[in-house]
A and B are shown apart, each in its own frame.
Chain A
Amino acid sequence: MARYVVNRLAQAIMLLVIVSGIGFSILHLAPGGPLSQFAASAQMTQEDLDRVTKQLGLDRPLPIQYLDWFGRMVRGDWGRSYRDGEAVLSVISSHLGATLELMATATIIAVLLGCWIGVLGALRRYSLFDTLATVGAMIALSIPTFWFGLVTIYVFSVKLGWLPAGNRETVGDGSFLDLVHHLIAPAMVLALVETAMWGRFMRSSMLEVIDQDYIRTARAKGMPEWRILTVHALRNALLPMITVAGLQFPTLLGGALVAETVFTWPGMGRLFLDSIGYRDYPVVMGILMFSATMVLIGSLLADIFYAVVDPRIRVG
């Protein structure tokens, strides 16, 4: 098991190095730069721009810039944001809480609701509920998050006035209830696609399990249906979901990016978008490395956990 973990860790580190190289190159080779936004300023001249470019070290050859950045990064210095001069790790951590809050809430909603819909759909295959769940999931997967977010705001904020039209809190309030009030709409929007995905995966997984011989055997032995479902079927059906959970991070992050923009949620997704637009290289690279690490950790944990519950994986 230890060897398996070490192997997977080594692979993960190699992947991170590759991601950093590709990410850095793409970002820096893309046209434009952090100073292009000042082009319309009547005060800054080309000479000023050239001077600032040199002061930021952006006039050096790309490989030198990369090696410099990489060397500092492995020593724990992820650089400073070009925008506000803050340390990159500090910038990321200041946005991380909001995103985790949103993602965790959406995930809890999606897992509970999705699993329930999936299990029920599998047990009542081709029933009205199953058909509705299937159609609903297709619709949910087809609806653009941005559009759904705007509709949610229009209905629940503009028309009904039940929920705030955005933001994480009311400035000056910040009570628990206020936070929850603000969290409902974005979490609901972000959870929509996730719920549909969990529901579909759970339905397939459950269908596969309840057709197995051991379920039939359990039924033949007269075991109560609820026990068959919870102890035998559900437990085994949840096994493949470990992988799904491990790989959901990038999808969630992508969804969060949109939801955060629509609901003015001060999280990582929006920070990433802003930083790309500004060509804030240190922050973009920081988020890229952070996200890649999170995805790899998620995948690694899923693999390890799977290996723990299913020893055949380790052998294979």
Chain B
Amino acid sequence: MADGTGKFGVGAVHLGIPNRRQFFQLGAGAAAGWTLAGNAFAQVERPTNPPDKPRGQVIAALSQEPTVFHPLMPGIEVDQGVWWQVFSLLWFIDPAGNFVPDLAREVPTIENGGLSADGLTWKIKLRSDVKWHDGTPFTADDVKFSLELINNPDFRARSRVGHSLVKDIKVVAPDEIHWRMEAPYSPYMSILGSLTFIVPKHILEKVSDPNASPFHNAPVGTGPFRWGERVPGDHILLNAHTGYHGKGPYVERVVFKYIPDLTVLYTQFRTGQVDYTGLQGILPNFVQEAKTLKGRKIVVSSTSSVEHIAPNLEFGPFADRAVREALYLAINKQAIIDALNYGLPKQTESFVPQQAWSFQQGLPQHKYDPAKANALLDAAGWVRGSGGIREKGGVKLEFANSTTSGNAVREQTQQLLIQDWRAIGAAMRVNNMPAAVIWGDFWQQSKFNSVIVGVNFMLGSDPDVTPRFGSGSIPAKGGRGYNTYQYQSAEADRLLAEGAKQFDLSQRKATYGELQKLIRNDLAILPLFQGFIAEGVKEGLQGFRPNINTSINCWNIREWYWA
């Protein structure tokens, strides 16, 4: 939960888990979404009295520059800010976790016949009143083209996870499309509802190179805003698409202003040059001051990212679970949260965000207990050697910890960790690197000892973490995925395989609940806290709704308007 006061209150949320019937009424895809009745985000700033026609402009400041405008190509979070305005999805996931039809007339379920009982046949009914920004009608051919483009071997598609299972796509009518899945894969509902934006066939089928065309820098979509202009290194301007098929847009223009330095970004927000601070938002050290600014509103909200210490489980001491547990017990998490993060984030024990339907309540809670950590290491045979550093069988309890250099809060966290762990006879040294280095082979090929990192483990809103924790997903061992921890568990593999083919919410909740217990028990990661973001909105700007199911909170600018 988030509000203008900056309190999370995530512990007070109520998991509104529907029964099977309710589940299918929501859409079978709800199996992959949030069903958070108590999520205050949904109630924040919902437009109540928008203008009759678009009025004014919004300047949204971003600390990274959007540069990828083809929404199916590799891009970063900030690019999504533009995709959400220019393009549309078949359905999207709202802040409460519901799948909301967009280009589709309804979300396919087993009950409405959109999904076969075995999850293999998908039948999607589409809206027939949608037009591309150039006036061409949107049809099922565009959906077919988009899905086929993703699987085109010559196209630099961002990801084919889920899409590669799609076979025999048939356009039944201009407003209806069917396909078959090679295997049941329930997370696909969430994948389609998060980042699978539909692109125009009538434009892209004519280009000779699908990876480079004028479309890439002047995209045409069906979204609420049309492409205006881009001044590289400075801003992107989008104009209202008055023929938009949904609600809004209520502002004439959106300007995405690129301001790389977060201090400068905050200053421009403070002086009123920008109306909204997005993506990385406001630095925690400015939040208290920002709340006192007149005419500005600060919204602190949770994100799906989980800040954690990633141990390389194949590295010497970390292979011993007792070591991982002792290290975890010795972390003064609350000090990290209070002293370095201004008390804004909440502790967590899971890789699943606490607002998700799949979040497992009642996981063992972390307790800062150096005495217990010491006892645990003593019992496991790790004895203190020269300099007070423990060792066992010739292996010293010393390791490096890495993170992105220049990230002040994480670097300070490392200093606290060094002290915490020295107290139990573990020696940690810092080995930081620039982002382009650390997240390359060093991370992907598990060349690290340990890393401090924030990861969004969810696939859209789905808790399928096969790429993160599946035994076959270890890149250092030739696997397909991001299991850089090198975590291997036959039980985890079984649960992951089971969860991905289940379409019943209660079953899925049980499966992923078991998985969270397992990962917590194995301490495959040492969670610190759930990510958060503090964003500034100029007073009078209505409609801002943080959405934990998207990577960027300016997902719904179509609903924004000036009071």
Chain A residues packing against B (C-beta within 8 Å):
30-33, 35-49, 52, 55-56, 80-81, 83-86, 91, 94-95, 98, 150, 153-154, 157-158, 161, 164-168, 171-172, 261-264, 266-267, 270-271, 273-274, 276-279
Q: Are A91 and B232 in contact (CB under 8 A)?
A: yes
| Given known contacts A43-B161, A171-B237, A264 and B264 CB-to-CB distance under 8 angstroms | yes
The contact sample of 10 A-B pairs, CB cut-off 8 A, is A30-B436, A32-B437, A45-B467, A48-B160, A55-B156, A85-B217, A86-B217, A167-B273, A264-B259, A279-B436
Q: Are B234 and A84 in contact (CB under 8 A)?
A: no
| Given known contacts A36-B437, A262-B261, A277-B436, A164 and B273 CB-to-CB distance under 8 angstroms | yes
Residue of A nearest to B216 (CB): A85
Q: Are B156 and A52 in contact (CB under 8 A)?
A: yes
What A residues does B441 contact at CB under 8 A?
Answer: 31-32
What B residues does A153 contact at CB under 8 A?
Answer: 264, 267
Q: For the complex, what is the distance from the CA of A168 to the CA of B258, rounded to whole Å?
A: 12
Q: For the complex, what is the distance from the CA of A263 to the CA of B234, rounded to whole Å?
A: 11
Q: Are A84 and B67 in contact (CB under 8 A)?
A: yes
Q: For the complex, what is the distance from the CA of A35 to the CA of B268, rounded to whole Å?
A: 31
Contact with A along B267-281 (1 / 0, CB 8 A): 110110100000000
Band of interface residues on B:
35 or more
Q: A31-B436, A164-B271 are in contact. List 11 more A-B contacts (CB 8 A).
A: A43-B195, A45-B159, A45-B467, A55-B154, A85-B212, A150-B263, A165-B267, A167-B257, A171-B257, A264-B259, A279-B436
Q: Are A80 and B437 in contact (CB under 8 A)?
A: no
Q: Are B271 and A157 in contact (CB under 8 A)?
A: yes
What B residues does A47 contact at CB under 8 A?
Answer: 480-481
Cβ of B183 within 8 Å of any chain A Cβ, yes or no, is no
Q: Which 8 A-B pairs have the closest CB atoms?
A: A266-B234, A32-B436, A266-B233, A36-B440, A39-B439, A32-B440, A32-B437, A46-B475
Q: B4-12, B376-384, B448-456, B540-548: which lies at the A interface?
A: B448-456
User: What number of A-B contacts does a CB cutoff of 8 Å give?
Assistant: 188
Q: Are B74 and A52 in contact (CB under 8 A)?
A: yes
Q: Are A271 and B232 in contact (CB under 8 A)?
A: yes
Cβ of B434 within 8 Å of any chain A Cβ, yes or no, is yes
Q: For the complex, what is the distance from the CA of A98 to the CA of B65, rounded to whole Å?
A: 17
Q: For the complex, what is the distance from the CA of A91 to the CA of B217, rounded to whole Å?
A: 12
Q: Closest approach, in angstroms, between the C-beta of B213 and any C-beta of chain A?
A: 8
Could you tell me the dominant secondary structure of chain B's interface residues? mixed
Chain B residues packing against A (C-beta within 8 Å):
57, 59, 65, 67-69, 74, 76, 154, 156-161, 191, 195, 211-212, 216-217, 231-235, 237, 253, 255, 257-261, 263-264, 267-268, 270-271, 273, 433-444, 453-459, 467-468, 473, 475, 479-482
What B residues does A277 contact at CB under 8 A?
Answer: 434-436
Residue of B nearest to A170 (CB): B273
What B residues does A84 contact at CB under 8 A?
Answer: 67-69, 216-217, 232
Most buried by B among A166, A267, A271, A279: A166
Q: For the complex, what is the distance from the CA of A41 to the CA of B459, rounded to whole Å?
A: 9
Partner of B459, one of A43, A49, A86, A278: A43
Q: For the complex, what is the distance from the CA of A95 to the CA of B258, rounded to whole Å?
A: 14
Residue of B nearest to A268 (CB): B233
Residue of B nearest to A56 (CB): B156
Partner of B259, one of A35, A49, A85, A166: A166
| Given known contacts A33-B440, A38-B74, A278-B436, A157 and B267 CB-to-CB distance under 8 angstroms | yes
Q: Are A45 and B480 in contact (CB under 8 A)?
A: yes
Q: Closest approach, in angstroms, between the C-beta of A285 and any C-beta of chain B?
A: 16
What A residues does B253 contact at CB under 8 A?
Answer: 172
What B residues does A83 contact at CB under 8 A?
Answer: 67-68
| Given known contacts A39-B482, A84-B67, A172-B57, A274 and B156 CB-to-CB distance under 8 angstroms | no
Q: Closest approach, in angstroms, between the C-beta of B119 and any C-beta of chain A?
A: 20
Q: Are B264 and A166 in contact (CB under 8 A)?
A: yes
Q: Closest approach, in angstroms, between the C-beta of A85 and any C-beta of chain B?
A: 5
| Given known contacts A45-B480, A48-B160, A266 and B232 CB-to-CB distance under 8 angstroms | yes
Q: Are A80 and B74 in contact (CB under 8 A)?
A: no
Q: Are B261 and A261 in contact (CB under 8 A)?
A: yes
Q: For the complex, what is the distance from the CA of A279 to the CA of B479, rounded to whole Å?
A: 25
Q: Are A171 and B260 in contact (CB under 8 A)?
A: no
Q: Closest approach, in angstroms, between the C-beta of A7 and any C-beta of chain B?
A: 38
